[in-house]
Amino acid sequence: MAEGSKQGGVESRVCAARVIDAVYSGRSLSDALAMPCVQGSHQPFIQAICYGVFREFPRHKHLLGHLLNKPLKPADSDIDALAQAALYQIDCMRVPPHAAVNETVQAARRMGKPWASNLLNALLRRYLRESEALNASLNGDEEATLRMPAWLTQRFRQAWPDGWRGLVEASGRQAGLTLRVNRMKIDPKAYLQLLAEKEILAHPHPQLSEALMLDRALPVELLPGFSEGLVSVQDAGAQLAAVLLDAARGDRVLDACAAPGGKSCHLLERAGGELDLWAVDLDAVRLQRIRENLERLGLTAHCSTGDATEPTGDWGQGTYQRILLDAPCSATGVIRRHPDIKVLRKPGDLTALTDTQRRCLDALWPLLAPGGMLLYATCSILPEENELQVAGFLERHLDARERPIEADWGLARASGRQTLPGENGMDGFYYACLEKIPG
Ligand SMILES: C[S@@+](CC[C@H](N)C(=O)[O-])C[C@H]1O[C@@H](n2cnc3c(N)ncnc32)[C@H](O)[C@@H]1O
């Protein structure tokens, strides 16, 4: 085998740099990883680098700051990405350091920036010589040691004065793979048996009957019956939504921010496919993902592009027995699965997000039938998007009351319930059940 091919060659480094650079310019990592260059036998290597770079962020950003005499220009963010990828290979992967350096230097040439190959060569070789001292110099820097942007740590600290450090640390750990078994096709115990036959180690989740937790992540194609719809990948905290919404067969149900459709599909599976389900999302491209998931699982729903702050068209007519609002949010509860959040989120985002959440809640409420229930959900651990948002809603809507969630998971908040990242293998989710008082 040619040197470097086992750990990916020059092309893999170029591709990883392009993906990382796309995230720098605002694209989500899961979206950027759909680039054609990622596909193929080096996909696991490229994915490992890209996820790793954002898990390590901003530690390597600080290291680069020390290693560069002057900062790179904004137009050379691809070279910054290439350097980040190299530091990750050297520090955290079993890539021989000389291979990481050589392939990175060649990658800069392949990217049409030969001037950067000299720079990277010198910078990475210096890092190999002085890594101990350079890493030690970061010891006093909280941002580098916690691997979390300072402004996000500050938000965690304000929200959870006692447990913030544990939450930051849990957000930096790699999350395991959790499956949701499609009961319409197979019983969870029988699926566990199928996994055992393939020597895939898994165990049932203690609180969620359809959730199985795998000991080791693996590509979905290796899961028995994945393409036939026997299982889906879904965090256990996300699986709480369908349990809490508790839709009955025949109910008209609206999932107002539905893409890529994980919770919509789970709702349908639990009702044997017998819901009049309307899945709406603002993003037409992401809406297509709902259709693909429905098809793989053998389910049907009405899928529409739409804005939950302004219900229109067929989905905006009539009333629903159940509404799920899985609102756009800071995603501070899912950083362990989506470490790119550390780069994508900006301090000012929260104001716009809480405003959208409020407008969605107010616009959807008239669509709920008297006696019906709206489940408000976020994957945030910040009170302004969660219990404070719900408190404001209850003040504005006198025909609404909260149904407390009695559960053996999460923490009761002033309103609603919160899971925290890492708790029983779950991500950080917030849920509140809002009932419409029959008039
Ligand atoms: C947290 S994700 C939903 C995840 C989904 N419920 C699932 O379980 O697969 C939030 C979604 O809200 C959508 N969104 C954002 N603003 C919206 C709006 N004003 N109206 C409808 N959808 C919106 C985003 O496109 C995104 O797909």
Closest ligand 1 atom to Cα of 261: 9
Ligand 1 center from residue 193 Cα (angstroms): 35
Closest ligand 1 atom to Cα of 286: 27
Structural contact between residues 320 and 4, judged by C-beta atoms closer than 8 angstroms:
no
**Does residue 287's CB lie within 6 angstroms of at least one atom of ligand 1?**
no
Taking the mean position of all CA atoms in its chain, how far away is CA 80? 24
Residue 416 CB contacts under 8 Å (≥ 6 apart), including other chains: 376, 386, 387, 390, 402, 405, 430, 431, 432, 433
Ligand 1 center from residue 282 Cα (angstroms): 7
Q: For residue 118, what are its two tokens?
A: 């000299």
pLDDT in tens, 383-392: 999 999 999 9
Give the integer Cα–Cα distance in Å for 100 and 299: 46
Question: Domain 178-233: which CATH class?
Answer: alpha beta
Give the integer Cα–Cα distance in Å for 179 and 209: 11
CATH number 3.40.50.150 given to 236-436:
yes
Q: Domain limits of the chain? A: 10-147, 178-233, 236-436
Per-residue pLDDT of the chain (439 residues; tens, 9 = 90+): 333 345 679 999 999 999 999 999 999 999 999 999 999 989 999 999 999 999 999 999 999 999 998 899 999 999 999 999 999 999 999 899 999 999 999 999 999 999 999 999 999 999 999 999 999 999 989 999 999 999 999 999 999 999 999 999 999 999 999 999 999 999 999 999 999 999 999 999 999 999 999 988 888 999 999 999 999 999 999 999 999 999 999 999 999 999 999 999 999 999 999 999 999 999 999 999 999 999 999 999 999 999 999 999 999 999 999 999 999 999 999 999 999 999 999 999 999 999 999 999 999 999 999 999 999 999 999 999 999 999 999 999 999 999 999 999 999 999 999 999 999 999 999 999 999 999 8
Q: Which CATH architecture has domain 10-147?
A: Orthogonal Bundle (1.10)
- DSSP character string of 185-238: T--HHHHHHHHHHTT--EEE-SS-TTEEEESS---GGGSTTTTTTSEEE--HHH
Task: Give me the active site residues, please.
Answer: 379
Helix (H) or strand (E) holding 276: strand 276-281
Give the integer Cα–Cα distance in Å for 147 and 145: 5
